[in-house]
Structure 1
Amino acid sequence: MLQGKKILLGVSGSIAAYKAATLVRLLVKAGAEVKVLMTSSATQFITPLTLSTLSKNEVGLHISENGSWSNHVMLGRWADAMLIAPASANTLAKMANGLCDNILLAVYLSATCPVMFAPAMDEDMWIHPATKANVDKLKSFGHIQLPVNKGELASGLFGEGRMSEPEDIVTFLDHYFAQKAAKSGALAGKKALVTAGPTVEPLDPVRFISNHSSGKMGIAIAEALANNGAEVELVLGPTNLGTTHPMIQTTRVQTAQQMFDACIQRFDAANIAVLAAAVADYRPAQVADVKIKKKDEGLHIDLEKTKDILKTLGTQKKDSQVLVGFSLETNNEREFALKKLTDKNLDLVVLNSLNDAGAGFNYDTNKVYLFTKGGKETALPLKSKTAIANDIVSAIIELQHA
C-alpha cells in the first residue's frame, strides 16, 4: 500500500535519529517517495547527506532555501502523510503549542495531510505531565501517535520511551493506507472467504500426505480483496507464509476436514468465496497412534476421499454470492476447468497449467486462464502472483456488478 505514496519524514533531535536511515531505506524499498526534514539538533546525530542519499531527495534544513520563503507551504501540500520520527519531547511541545522556529515545524503547521508522530525520549520525560498533556493535545488535533516501546534507553535506564522500530513504523503506515483505501474500495462493505495453502493428512504421529502448495497465490488474492475494501476471512493451511493486512482475519488449519469445517462455518456470511487452497482429495483411512515401523515388505495404505469443499459450497451458494474455484491441471486443461465450472456451480474458475513455465507451486509468478459461467474466457500472461491476484479480483468485481 506504500507504492507511490508521498511521505514527509521529520527528524528531530533524539539519539533515535540514527534509526531514520533504516526507516527511509525501508520506505523507499516499499515504493514510497520520501522527503526528509531535519531540525538543527537532529543533524548532530545523523548527517543530512546520509538521508538525502537514501531518500534520493534533498533534505530540508532551513525555512528559507534556494531563495524561497514558501517551500514549507508547498511541502505541506505535497505529502500523503507527514511522520515525525523520532519526535523528541521538545518537538512535541512545540507542535502542541504552534511554535514555528525550524523547517520541520513550519511544514507541520502547513501540512494538509494526516500527521503521525513516533515519540522518543527517556522514560521520566515521557511520563511527565507536561509531555502527556502535549501528546493528548496533538491527538485532539486528529494526529496519530505511534506506539512507544519499552526497553533499554540512552540514559542506560530501562523503561518506556523508545521509538517504534523502523520495521514496525513501515507496517503501521502500510496498514493505515490499507484501511484508508478500504473505505472507498469497490468491495467496501463486502465479506470474503479465501482458502490458501496445502492441507496435511496424517498417516501416523510422524508422517503425513500433502502437496507442494506454498499458499502464495491465495494470500495474494486475500490481500487484493482487502485492498479493495473487503473484510476477508483467510483459512490458511500449513505454510510458513502469512499476512499482516489489517482487513484480513486468518484461521490456521491443518487437515482437509478442518478446512471444510472452517469454510462451512463462514460461507453463509460471505459475499465472495475464493477457494485457492490445494486440498487433499484423499486421506489415510486409518491413522496409526504410534509411528509405523519400517518392514522388509512393502507398506499398503488404504485411502478414503475427503469432503469436496468447493462442491459443497456450490450446492449451498445463493444467487447473491460469487464462488471462485481453482483448477490445477497437467492435461486436458481447458476441458477439466470448464467441467469444474459447471459441476460445482462456480461463477469463475481459474485454470493453472503445470505445463506453463513459471506457473504453479512455489513460484512468485503465475500464468492463468479465467472462465466465467457467462462464457467469458480471459488468458492472463505470466505475471507476479500479486498482479494476477489483482486481475482475478477485478474479474470478481465485474461479477459483483453484473
Structure 2
Amino acid sequence: MRGKRVVVGVGGGIAAYKACGLIRLLTESGCHVDVVPTEAALHFVGSATFEALSGNPVSTGVFSDVPSVRHVALGQRADLVVVAPATADLLARAASGRADDLLTSTLLTARCPVLLAPAMHTEMWEHPATRRNVDTLREDGVRVMPPASGRLTGADTGAGRLPEPSDIARLAWLLLDGGTLPWDLAGRHVVVTSGGTREEIDPVRFLGNRSSGKQGHAIAAVAAARGARVTLVTSSDLPVPAAVEAVHIESALELREETLRAAAHADVVVKAAAVADFRPADVSESKLKKGSESEPAEIRLQRNPDILADLVAARSAGDVPAPCVLVGFAAETGDSSGSVLEHGRAKLSRKGCDLLVVNEVGRDTTFGQDDNGGWILGADGAETTLDRASKDLLADRLLDAVTALSLRRTRRSDADRTD
C-alpha cells in the first residue's frame, strides 16, 4: 500500500473515535492519509489527534488552503476515499450531491473508489429515507458497508454500530489492491465454512491441521460487503467479520451437521474449511497419561464424512435448493502421482461440485498466511488462474466467478421456460 493516497472522512457521530484506529492501520500499511472531518466530528475528536495520527494538516471547510484548490484536489488525487463513521446526515448530503463542506466536496470530485461505513441508531438506519439514500449511493457506484450489530450509544443495542477499524481497513485495502466489491449478492444467503476441524482424543488433546481460517473469514467478509446474508460455520478463533452470523464448531461431525442445516436455505455454499479426513475411533473420557495404564499403544482412526460430497448429494435429493452454487476447496501438495493442479482436477471430478478452488499448501505456504493463489476449476471445464494475492482479493475473485455462474444458470433457466 506504500504511496497510496487515502482520504479518511469522519462524520459527526460518537463512533468518530474509531476513525483513529482506522487512520493508524492505513498509515502503518504505507498509505498517505488525509483526514477530512466534518465540523460536527471535531466535537468528538479534535483536529490535533487526527493530525498527529496522519502526519498531515486537517481542515473542514472549502475555504482552507484556497491556492491549492483543496476542495477539488483531495478527491482528484486520491486512490480511495473512506468515510467512517458515515452518519445519517452525511449519507443524505452525499446522496443528494451536496458540497457544503470539504468532505462532501471531496466526495463529488473523487473518481476513485469510495467506501462508506455507516454508524447510527437502529431506527435511523432502518428509516425509509436512509434506505433510499443508501440505495442511491450504491446505484452511483459508492460502496456502502453494512453496519455491524451491537451496543450503540447509551443502553441501546441493534444494527447501526460502526464496524471495527480492522473490518473497514480490510475492505479499504481490498479496493486499493484492485478488488471490485459490487453490490451483487443482495438478497442471497451465502454459507461459508472456515478453519481446521479438531478431532478429540481425550479432554485435553485433539488431532488437527494447520488451517487458520483466514481464507474462509475473508470470503465471509467480502460476501457480506457485497450484500449477502452470510452464515459462517467455523472452528477458528479469528474475530467474526462485521455483518456476519457465526456458528462455532470443533469437529468434522459438528461441521457437517451445521453446514447441511444452513445449506437447506442457501444460495451459495463455500466449503473452505480444512476438514480432518480421520478422527479417533475411541475417545477417552479422561486424560491419557504416559507411563500409566491409560497410555495407548495405538490410536485407531476412522474416516470422517465427505461433507462436500454430502452437500452435492443433498442438492440432488432436494434437501439443498437446486440453484445453490456449491464451491469446494482443494488444499493439495504435489507428489509422484501428480501435480497440485492434476490432483485438483481429479478431486473436482470425484466431488461433483460446481467450482473448486485449488491451492498448494504446506508449512509456511497458504496455511496461516495472508496471501493465497491457485486455480478456480469449473465443472464445465473452465480453469481460471489466481495469481498469488491477498486472501481478501482471492475471495473477491471467487465471488465474481460465483455470481457469473449464477447469472449463466438464470439465463439458461429463463431460456428453458421460454422454450
- TM-score when scaled to structure 1? 0.67
Q: CA deviation at 1:57?
A: 4.7
User: Structure 1 pair 302/34, CA: closer, same or farther in 2 (3 Å)?
Assistant: same
2:226 — aligned with what?
228
Q: How much does 1:265 deviate?
A: 0.8
Give unpaired runs (5+ residues) of structure 1: 86-91, 96-104, 120-134, 151-159
- Cα pair distance change 1:149/1:255, threshold 3 Å: same
Query: Which SS does the other structure have where 1:257 is aligned?
Result: helix
Q: Give, in angstroms, the shift of residue 19 of structure 1.
A: 8.5
Does 2:182 align with 1:196?
A: no
Task: Report the Cα distance in structure 2 between the residues aligned to 1:374 and 1:383, rounded to whole angstroms.
Answer: 25
Say whether the 8 Å CA contact 2:194–2:234 is kept in structure 1.
yes
Residue 59 (1) aligns with residue 58 (2): yes
TM-fit CA distance, 1:72 = 7.9
Report if the CA contact (8 A) 1:205-1:289 is conserved.
yes
Partner Cα separation in structure 2 for residue 37 and residue 254 of structure 1:
44
Note the 1:126-145 alignment, pairs <5 A: none
Aligned equivalents of 1:339, 1:282: Cα separation in 2: 21
Residue of structure 1 equivalent to 2:240: 243
Measure the CA separation in 2 of the matches of 1:18 and 1:262.
Answer: 37
Unaligned runs of 5+ in 2: 91-99, 109-115, 135-146, 173-179, 317-321, 409-419
Is 1:287 matched up with 2:283?
yes
1:272 Cα deviation (Å)?
Answer: 0.8
2:349 match: 342
2:377 aligns to what SS in structure 1?
strand
Rate the CA distance shift 1:280–1:149 in 2: closer, same or farther, 3 A. same
Partner of 2:262 in structure 1?
266
How many residues end up aligned between the 2 structures? 343
- Contact map agreement 1:21 1:54 (CA 8 A) in 2: yes
Q: Partner of 1:366: helix, strand, or coil? A: strand
Give the Å deviation of 1:400.
1.1
Distance 1:314 1:116 in 2: 38
Q: Shift of the alpha carbon at 1:295?
A: 3.4
Deviation at 1:313, TM superposition (A): 0.6
Tell me the percent identity.
30
Q: Distance in 2 between matches of 1:173 and 1:383?
A: 19
Over the residues paired in the alignment, what is the CA RMSD in angstroms? 4.9
Pairwise mapping of residues 361-372 of structure 1 onto structure 2 (< 5 A)? 361-372=367-378
Match for residue 36 of structure 2? 36
- Pairwise CA distance, 1:338: 1.9
Structure number with greater Rg is 1
Secondary structure of the residue that 2:221 maps to in structure 1? helix
Q: Is the 8 A contact 1:38 1:59 kept in 2?
A: no
Structure 1 residue 334: deviation in Å?
Answer: 2.8
Taking the aligned partners of 1:110 and 1:188, their CA distance within structure 2 comes to 29
- CA 1:311–1:292 in 2, change beyond 3 Å: closer, same or farther? same
8 Å Cα contact 1:200/1:255 also seen in 2? yes
Tell me the equivalent position of 2:248: 252
Say yes or no: does 1:388 pair with 2:384. no
Residues 303 and 174 of structure 1: CA distance in aligned 2, closer, same or farther (over 3 Å): same
Q: Following the alignment from structure 1 to structure 2, what is the Cα–Cα distance between the partners of residues 18 and 272?
A: 36
SS of 2:349 mapped into structure 1: helix
In structure 2, the residue matched to 1:89 is none
Distance 1:337 1:385 in 2: 19
* TM-score, normalised with respect to structure 2: 0.64
Structure 1 partner of 2:137: none
Secondary structure of 2:375's counterpart equals: strand
